[in-house]
Structure 1
Amino acid sequence: MNQTLKVEGMSCHHCQAAVEKAVKGIAGVENVQVDLAKKEVVVTGSVDREQITKAIKEAGYEVVG
């Protein structure tokens, strides 16, 4: 199952890597794709959206949609 989240605060490849690392650390995540231009994170796997949101916020970014 794919989930797409809009994330604010990402502006460079370091941001992209930080978000990717945070989300990949969640059990059940199979794949993570971070698109800086669209400010989107696409997560594949069986994981709760709240867990993804929490991991992104803990990494210092804001989920806006």
Structure 2
Amino acid sequence: METFKVEGMVCGGCVNAVTRAIQNEDAGARVEVDLASGKLTTESALSKQQVAAIIEEAGYTVVG
């Protein structure tokens, strides 16, 4: 499992967009988002760098 601090996610639509983007690359990925803290946790076959790039391509900022 990898955890990311993501800026810019403010609603359920944001969560759906990021989740879909990750699952488009890894259909078996499990994605959990805590909007209050801005944390996204994923269990995926993709590397941490790949997931971070997907999040950024979806229009959000990975911090750290």
Asked if TM exceeds 0.5, the reply is yes
Shift of 1:45: 2.6
Which residue number corresponds to residue 49 of structure 1?
A: 48
Structure 1 residue runs of 4+, over 6 Å off? none
Give the TM-score taking structure 2 as reference length: 0.87
Runs of 5+ consecutive residues of structure 2 not aligned to the other structure: none
Shift of 1:16: 1.0
Report if aligned partners of 2:6, 2:60 keep a CA contact under 8 Å in 1.
Answer: yes
Deviation per residue, 1:3-58 (Å, 9 max, x gap):
00000001111111111111112237531111111101101133201110111011
SS of residue paired to 2:9: coil
Q: Report percent identity of matched pairs.
A: 39
SS of residue paired to 1:25: helix
- Cα RMSD (Å) of the superposition? 1.5
Structure ranking higher in strand proportion: 1
Which residue number corresponds to residue 58 of structure 1?
A: 57
Name the count of aligned residue pairs.
64
Runs of 5+ consecutive residues of structure 1 not aligned to the other structure: none
